[in-house]
Every structure is written in C-alpha cells, then in structure tokens.
Amino acid sequence: MRDLSLLTWNEVRETDKSRSVVFVVLAPIEEHGTHLPLATDILEGECWSRDAMKMLERRLEVECFYLPSFPIAAASVNEFYGSIHFSMKLTYEVTYDVLESLCYMGFRNIVVIASHADPQHQIAVEKAVRKINKKNGLCVIAPMGQIFMGVSVEKSSELQKLEEEQGNDYHAGWVETSCMLCIDPDHVRDVYQKLPDTEIADKDMIFRKRQLKAMGEYGYIGSPKYANAEIGKRLNENCSASICDAVEKFYYREGYQKYEHYLLYNILPLHIGFWKIAGKVRRKKVSA
C-alpha cells in the first residue's frame, strides 16, 4: 500500500487503475469524553483502513493507495470544547469534490472510510457517493454506515455476548476505548477505569438534546470501564475484516450491496441538516 499523495502526477497517470483500490478516511476532530483524544475517529479509521489494505493486497492482485485523512465531518452534538465540526452540506461538498477528483484520475475502486457513526455524517457522505456513482457509474463504496449498524463478517461469541450485555454503547464507551487501548494505550487516560455508566435508548440517539443529556458532564455514552486491549484487538480485527469483505465484494461487483446503502438514509428528518438554518453548526464559545 502506498500514500497516493507522495506520488508524482505522472506516476498517478501510469498507475493501473483497474488493479488499484484507493482509501479515503473522513472523520472529525471531536471530543471523546475525558479519557480519549480528539482524533479518536481518525486514528480508528486509519487503523481499520491499513489492516484492510494489507488483507486486500494478500487476497487480490491489487495495489492499495490511501490519502492523508480528511478531518472533516458533520455531527449533531457540537457543544463540547475540542470539537471541529462542519455542516452536512459542506461535508457533502468536500466528499463529492474529493471523490470526483479521484474519478477524474481514472480510479474505479474508491473506498470511503467514514469512521464517525453520527447519522448526519453518514448521510452526507452517502449523498456524495450516490451522486458520484450516478454521474460516473459505480466506482465508490462507503461501507462504514452499514458496518456501524451491525452488518459485518461473523463476530466471535465473546464480542456478541458483550454487545448483548453492554449494548448501550454509542460514543467513547467500552467499544471505542477498547479499540484505542489496542491502537495505542498511551492515548487513553487512566480515568476511564473509574468513569460511571451513561445510558440512552436507541430511539433517542437521533435527537441532539437527548444525546447531550445522556452525555452529561463527561461527553460519552456507554461504559468505558469495561474496556480492555484484548477486546479492542478483536473489535479492530472484525471491523477491518468487514471493510475487506465489503471492498473485495465491491471489486468483483458482486454481493457488496449489503454494505452499500446506510440503513438510516431514508429517514427524511435526518436530512434536515442540509437546510440553511437547521444545518448551522452550534459551537460553544470559550469564556475568558
């Protein structure tokens, strides 16, 4: 795998596009509780992409490329310090322009790793992907929305049991904390072991005010105290394997459809962020 940005323009021209797969990570700089860094989603997306690319190059006769991660994402909760969010409209436009540029270069197997689960982000990314594919023919897939919704390769019995017992885990809880403990334990503050559980009902996750209430003073939803590096290893491996499965199927243009369209995309109220007023990002001003 190679960093596409380190090639020269003529090296890009000479690349065999039919045997190339390009990864694009789109994720925010945003708060992840008092125990995880602002770059958590980016670090996860880069980890999952890197491991998926290694698997793909072993399985297929392809060369994988990646771009520097784009710290651009839409989000419904913006009131915490440290978060740099963008409107759904701008996220859509940037995603579209990046993908259009890659299509004009001749790449036909492009993978967007939108490693931020907020429905606003997933919908903005998918909207761009749909438009690109309509204009250029099928050339881009963004599987993370469906992977976050549970579409994946088979999980271990241990992971399935944990998800059943501690399923209310949406943001910087045991799932992301475990992933980060595996990626780099130095990025995780020890306070995670003492943090209390926070809860929210599934149906309330689409409401910003209810999310804020659940996040309280800490900025997470879930149970960070149950995290450990071994669980993180299995979570990261499962996510990378699921991405690899989606891309391999997409490469052969067969069986990829289960990863193709985000399950919540057709819920029209979730598109309100494209409206000029409703889509304005609410930022919290730091007092003197």
User: Coil, strand, or helix at residue 175?
Assistant: helix
CB 269 within 8 A of CB 123: no
Find residue 26's DSSP bridge partners.
70
Pair of tokens at residue 242: 């699921």
Residue 1 CB neighbours (<10 A): 17
Which residues, 6+ apart, have CB-to-CB distance to 249 below 8 Å? Answer: 255, 256, 259
pLDDT at 78: 78
Structure tokens at 207: 């409401």
**Closest C-alpha among 164, 162, 147 to residue 228:** 162
What is the set of domains in the chain, with CATH numbers?
A: 2-274 (3.40.50.10310)
36 in Cβ contact with 187 (< 8 Å): yes
Backbone φ and ψ for 28, nearest 5 degrees, come out as: -90, 165
Residue 134: CB atoms within 10 Å: 9
Q: What percent of the chain has pLDDT over 90?
A: 78
**Residue-wise pLDDT tens digits, 9-60:** 999 999 999 999 999 999 999 999 999 999 999 999 999 999 999 999 999 9
The pLDDT tens digits of the residues spanning 170-220 come to 899 999 999 999 999 999 999 999 999 998 877 777 777 888 888 888 999
pTM here is 0.94
Question: CB within 8 A of 267, min separation 6: which ones?
Answer: 119, 206
pLDDT tens for each residue of 87-106: 999 999 999 999 999 999 99
**What pLDDT does residue 288 have?**
45
Answer yes or no: are the C-beta atoms of 187 and 51 closer than 8 Å.
no
Taking a C-beta distance cutoff of 8 angstroms, is the pair 255, 248 a contact? no
Pull the structure tokens for residue 149: 């919704």
Check: CB of residue 43 under 8 Å from CB of residue 183: yes
